[in-house]
A and B are shown apart, each in its own frame.
Chain A
Amino acid sequence: MTDATTLFHAERAGHTYGTGATAVVAVREVSCAVTSGARIALSGPSGSGKSTLLHMMAGLEQATSGSVDWGALDGHPAGRPDQVGIIFQGVSLIPSLNAVENVALPLVIGGMSYDEAQNRARDAIGRLHLESLAAKLPDELSGGQAQRIAVARVLAAGPKLILADEPTGQLDRAAGIHVVDVLVEAADELGAALVVSTHDPAIAARFASRWTMHDGILASVSPHDDDFTDRTAS
C-alpha cells in the first residue's frame, strides 16, 4: 500500500540470480516501504542480500517475484539521478574526470548545459566543504574523499531517495563516520530519504530505523518502524 509520501514500496518482492540448478535466491519475499525523510540503516552479514535490495530500490535490479513500485517518484528511477541517488561501496567516480566534472556528469547527461552543471557541481561540493578537492582526479583522492565527492554528486542531482551501498566498507572508522555525516547532511539539505547498508553497528545505531537481513529475509530491529512490514515473519 502506497501513499503520497511512499518513495519505494515492495510487496512480497524477491530476486533470484540465474535459473535452474545454479539459481541463487538473494532476496526472499520482502515487503517494505521507504517514505519521505526516512533514515534507515540496513545491516546484515555479507551475502545476506543487502546490496540486491538496495539495487531493487534504485531500479537497477528487477524483482523476479512479487511487486515493487515507486509511488511518490516520477516514474521508474533507473538512470534517474534526480529521483534516486546511489553511492556504491567501491570507487564510483570516473577516473578521467576531476571531482567537479564527476559531480556535474549526471546533470549534463540529464540535458543541463555544461556551464550550469559545473556551477551546480561547485555549489554541491561547497556545501559539503570539499572545495579543496574540486580540481583533483579520483586517483589523487583517498577512499573517504572519493566517497564524499560521490555524495556531492548525489547532492547536486537533488534526488528524493538516497541509497548508499556500504559506503564505508573500504574506509577506516573515522573516515567512515565522516562519510556518513556528509550523507546525512546531504539528505537533510535535500529533505530526501536515506537508506544506508552497513556492517558497522556503530553506524547503524545512528539511524532511527534499523533493518537487518539474513539469507535474503528482511527483519526490522528498531522498536518503532513505520516503514517496515514483516509479512515474512507473520
Chain B
Amino acid sequence: MIRIWLRGLITRRPGPLLATVAGVMIAVALLASLGSFLASAQASMTTRAASGIAVDWQVQVSNGSSAAAVRRTVLAAPGVTAAVTVGYAQTTGLTASTQGTTQSTGSGVILGIPANYAATFPGQIRFLTGKRGGVLIAQQTASNLHVAPGDTVTIGLAGTRPLKFIIAGVVDLPQANSLFQTVGAPASAQPTAPPDNVLLIPIADFAKASAALSAVHPELIHTQIHVAHSHALPPDPSVSFVTVTEAAHNLEAKLAGAGRVGDNLGASLDAARGDSSYATVLFLFLGLPGAVLAGILTVAVANSGADRRRREQALLRTRGASPRLVARLVTAEAVIVGVVGGVLGLALSAAVGSIAFGSASFGASVGSAVLWPLGSFLVGLSIAVIAVIVPATRDFRSMIVSEARAQIGIRKQPIWMSFYLDYLLLAVAVVVLFITTQSGYSLVLAPEGVASIQVNYWAFFGPGLLWIGAGLLIWRIARFLLGHTPRLLTGFVRPVTGNLAPIAAASMSRQRSMLSRATVMFALALAFAGSTAIFNSTYQQQAEVDARLTNGADVTVSEPPGSSVTPAAASVISGVAGVKSVEPLQHRYAYVGSDLQDLFGVRAGSIAAATSLQDAYFQEGTAAQLMARLAAQPDAILVSAETVKDFQLHPGELIKLRLQNASTQKLVTVNFHYVGVANEFPTAPKDSFFIANSDYVTRMTGDASVGSFLVNTGGQSTNAVAAGLRHKLGTSATVVPITAARSSVGSSLTSVDLAGLTRVELAFALVLAAAAGGLVFALGLAERKRTFAIASVLGANRRQLRGLVLAEAAAIAVGGTVAGAGLGLILSQMLVAVLTGVFDPPPTILTIPVPYLLATIVIALGAITGAALLSARRSRRPPIETLRDI
C-alpha cells in the first residue's frame, strides 16, 4: 500500500512533492554550507594566528640560571620543534661617520643571534639590502646613522670600551614589539614602542662583547631561548589557545624558576578566539534566519497542499483506511521528502563549496566536514516532519470527514492577531535593542589570557524578535489591506483584470490567508537578502575605511624620526607615475600638562583630497565642518575625547602645549584653541592625539619637517606606485601601500573569512527570494486549477484568466517588495547596531549594494511573474480535462 501511495504521489502529484523536497534541500544546503564554512573559517583563523607569529615562545633565562640547561629543557618539551639561544644587551648609543659627518643615536639594543636564526624564524627578519649574514642593522637605525653595508658602526657600552662592527646588511624587524617584549610583564607594563636603534650581531661576537659588559653591568644583559612550536593545533582557536597556554605553563613548571615563557603563539590565538566567537555570532545573526526562512518556506509549501491532503485523507478514511495506515502513509511521504531533500541539499552544499571555495568541505577539518552535514541532514528531516506529518496529524485528529472535505477556511483569523503578538514582539525587540546598544555593552567578551569567552546571547533576542514581530505585522497589514479595503484593492487590480476587477478583488479578499502568507514569505526573503547584503557591504566598506585610517592614504611615505624633510619634498613624490596628489602630514610630540601626546599638523584645506575623513572620526561637527574650522583659525586644534574629559575643556578654550623648537631643541609653549573632538585620524594612534594647522606649528616651532606624505593614487595601482616610490626614495623612507594595510589591520575575521560568508549567503538569499516569490505562489495556483477551469467553462478568455492570476501576483509582488525593503533596511540598521563590535570604526551610514539588491528584486519578481504566467498557461488546457481530474 505504501509503495502504491508513494508511486501515486510521485507520478500524479510530482509538483508539490518536488517543491517540498526543494525547500528541505535549500535549508539543508544553507545550514551545511554555512556550518562547514564556519568550521573552515575557525580553522583558518587558527592557522593564520599561528603562521603570523615569527617566534612562538620567548623563554627568558633567569639571572644565574644556565641558558644551555634551559634550552635543553625547552627542547625536551612536547611540541617544541626548535630552540635557539639569543642574547640581548643594552647599548648607550651608536655612532657612525659617513660622508664626512658623524651621526650618533641614543640608547639601543644589541642582539646576539646564531647563524641559523633567520632560517629557523623566517618571519622575524626581513632582509632589505646587503648580506644575509654577519652584522645586520635595523632599517631605522641605518637611516638615523646614514649607514649602508660596508660602513662601520661604533657601539657604546656602559662602563667598558666601545666596539666597532662593519655593517653587512640592512634588515627590517616586522615583529619588533614581541621581539623586545618584557617577558612575564603584564600588558600595561610592556614597553610602548620597540627600541629605535637595533644591531644584530653573530652570537660569537655577542659573547665577546657581553663578557666585558657583564663584568661591570650584568643587569644590562639577558638571554632568551627563542622557540618554534608545532603548529599542528586543534582547528578551533579557543581550543588551540587553551592547548598552547597549558603547554607554556607546563614548560614553566618544568623550568622550575630557571625561565619564564613569553607566549606569543598563545597571545595570537587569544586574539583569534575573539574573532572566532564573532564569526560564530555572525553566522547565527546572518545565516540562521536564512535557514529558518527556508524551513518556514518548506512548511508553507507543504501547507499549500493541505487542502489536497485533507481531501485525500478524508477519502482514505471513508474507504476504511485505519488511522495507523494513514499515519504510515504520511510518515512515508515525510521520510521520502526529508531524505531526498537532505541528500540533494548536501550535494548542493558540496557544489557551493567547490564553486565558492574550491573544496566541497569548504576546507573544514574531517570532523567538521562530517558533523555539520550530518547535523544539517537531521535538521532537514525535522523540517520534513514538521512540514508534512504535523499538519497531517493535526488534521487527522481534529477534523471530522465533512470538515476535511471543505476546501478552504478563509474567514478564520489567526489567534495571535487577537493577542496583538506582533506589536508585543516588536515592542520587546525595541527594548532589547535599546539595552544591548547602550555604552559598555559588548557582544563578545574575551578577556585577555582567560580561557572562557562570554557571548552576550541576549543580543540575539533583538533581531530575532524583530524578524518574528515584523513578519507577523506584515501578515496583519496584508490581511487588513486584502480584507478591508475593497475599493483600494479593486483599483489596484483593475489594470490587469478590467471589468473583472471587483470579482478579482472579492476573490483575493477571501483568499487573504494564502495571499498574505505568500506576501510575508516574499517580504522576509527579500528582507533576508537585503539585510545580509547591506550588512556585508557596510562591513566591507568599514574594513576599507579601517585600512585607509591605519595607512593614511592609498600609499603612505613615512619619514624616519628626526628627519628634516620639508613639504617641498612632495614634488619628488608627485613625479612618480600614478601619483595623483600628495599631502604632507606633520608629526610631533606635544606635552599637555605632563602627558606626552602625538600632534599631527595638517593642511586643513587640502587634507581631504588625499585621504578619506569620515564624520564618525569627529565630534561636535562633521569632518568637513571641523576642517573648515581649522582652516579659518590658525591656532585651532582638535583634541581627543579623552583629553577633553581629563582636562575639562570647553569649545573655544585656550590650550597651552609644549613643543620642541627646532633651533634651540628646547620645549616652547604654544597656544591653541580647542574647536572640536577627533576620535580617529589617518595614521594617528587610537588613544590620544591632537590635530592642528601645520603652518601654525611650523611658525611656532621653526620646524617644517614632515612626518609622512599621504599619496593619493585614485585607488589605482597602489602596489605599482609604492614600488616606484621605493625605487625613487631608496631606504630613506618607508613606503606602505594600502594593500599591505588591508591584510595587516584586518583581523582574521575581516581579511579572510567574511567575503566567503558573503558569497554563500547572498547566493542563498537570492535563491530564497526567488523561491519564496515563485514557489509558494505557483503551488497556491496549482491548488486552484479548478477555479480557473470553472471560469474558463463560464467563458473567461485567456486574457481574463491571465488577469486574475496576475492580480494576485501583483499584490504579492508589490506588498512583499515594499515590506521586504523596509524590513531589510531596519534589520540592517539593527544588525549594525548590535554587531557594532565587529566594526572599527563604526559606520556613519549604511552602504547599500544597489546592483545586488536590484538584481535580487528583479529575479524575485521574475519568479513571481514566471509562476503566474506558467499558471495562466496551464489554464489553456481544456477545462473539462481539469474538472475531470480534480
Contact = CB atoms under 8 A, between A and B. Distances in A.
Contacts of A86: 793
B511 to A, nearest CB: 5
Interface in A159-206: none
Contacts of A138: 407
Given A96-B511, A97-B506, A79 B795 contact: yes
A66 interface: no
A113 B410 contact: no
A111 B787 CA distance: 19
B790 A81 contact: no
Contact of B795 (A55, A81, A97, A137): A81
A110 B795 CA distance: 7
A162 B34 CA distance: 63
B516 to A, nearest CB: 14
A139 interface: yes
B796 A79 contact: yes
Contact of A79 (B407, B408, B510, B792): B792
B807 to A, nearest CB: 12
Interface in B632-663: none
Given A61-B880, A94-B791, A95-B787, A111 B499 contact: yes
Interface in B483-518: 499-503, 506-508, 510-511
Contacts of B407: 95, 138-139
B793 A97 contact: no
B325 interface: no
B605 interface: no
A104 B795 CA distance: 12
Contacts of A221: none
A111 B796 CA distance: 10
Interface in A63-120: 79-81, 86, 88, 90, 92-98, 101, 104-106, 108-114
B883 interface: yes
A90 B511 CA distance: 22
A208 interface: no
Interface in A33-75: 55, 60-61
B782 to A, nearest CB: 15
B790 A92 contact: yes
Contacts of A113: 499
A90 B882 CA distance: 13
Number of contact residues on A: which range applies? Answer: 20 to 34
Nearest to A138: B407
A37 B794 CA distance: 22
A77 to B, nearest CB: 10
B410 A137 contact: yes
Interface in B778-828: 787, 790-797, 800
Given A95-B787, A96-B511, A97-B510, A109 B409 contact: no
Residue among A104, A111, A139 with max Cβ neighbours from chain B (10 Å): A139
Interface in B756-798: 787, 790-797
Residue among B501, B503, B508, B510 with max Cβ neighbours from chain A (10 Å): B503
Interface residues of B, number: 29
A113 B502 CA distance: 10
B787 A96 contact: yes
B406 interface: yes
Given A105-B791, A105-B794, A109-B791, A95 B880 contact: no
Contacts of A110: 795
Interface in B276-308: none
Interface in A122-172: 137-139, 153
B704 to A, nearest CB: 83
B790 A109 contact: no
B408 A94 contact: no
A218 to B, nearest CB: 20
A110 B502 CA distance: 14
Contact of B796 (A104, A109, A139): A109
Residue among A79, A98, A104, A108 with max Cβ neighbours from chain B (10 Å): A108
Interface string B531-544: 00000000000000
Interface in B715-736: none
Contacts of B511: 96
Contact of A96 (B406, B410, B800, B878): B410
B682 interface: no
Contacts of A93: 790
B23 interface: no
Contact of A55 (B502, B787, B800, B880): B880
A60 B880 contact: yes
B471 interface: no
Contacts of B410: 95-96, 137, 139
B793 A114 contact: no
Contacts of A80: 795
Contacts of B793: 60, 79, 86, 92
Contacts of B501: 114
B363 to A, nearest CB: 52
B879 interface: yes
Contact of A108 (B406, B500, B880): B500
B781 to A, nearest CB: 13
Nearest to A85: B794
B349 to A, nearest CB: 40
Contacts of B502: 108, 114
A95 B511 CA distance: 9
B503 A108 contact: yes
Nearest to B795: A79
A97 B507 contact: yes
B408 A139 contact: yes
Given A96-B787, A139-B408, A139-B409, A101 B794 contact: no
Nearest to B797: A79
A70 B792 CA distance: 20
Interface string B687-720: 0000000000000000000000000000000000
A138 B790 CA distance: 14
Nearest to A153: B794
Given A55-B880, A61-B880, A137-B410, A114 B794 contact: no
Contacts of A97: 503, 506-507, 510
A161 to B, nearest CB: 15
Contacts of B408: 95-96, 139
B879 A101 contact: no
Interface string B379-408: 000000000000000000000000000111
Nearest to A62: B878
Contacts of B794: 79, 81, 105-106, 109, 153
A101 B503 contact: yes
Nearest to A113: B499
A135 to B, nearest CB: 12
Interface in B16-63: none
B312 to A, nearest CB: 16
Nearest to A139: B406
Nearest to B502: A114
B499 A114 contact: yes
A227 to B, nearest CB: 24
A105 B880 contact: no
Interface string A5-22: 000000000000000000
Interface of B: 406-410, 499-503, 506-508, 510-511, 787, 790-797, 800, 878-880, 883
Interface of A: 55, 60-61, 79-81, 86, 88, 90, 92-98, 101, 104-106, 108-114, 137-139, 153
Closest 9 CB pairs of A and B: A79-B795, A96-B510, A106-B794, A114-B502, A96-B507, A60-B880, A139-B406, A95-B407, A109-B795
Given A95-B408, A97-B503, 19 more contacts: A79-B795, A81-B794, A92-B790, A94-B790, A95-B410, A96-B408, A96-B507, A96-B787, A101-B503, A105-B791, A108-B503, A109-B500, A111-B499, A114-B501, A114-B503, A138-B407, A139-B408, A139-B409, A153-B794
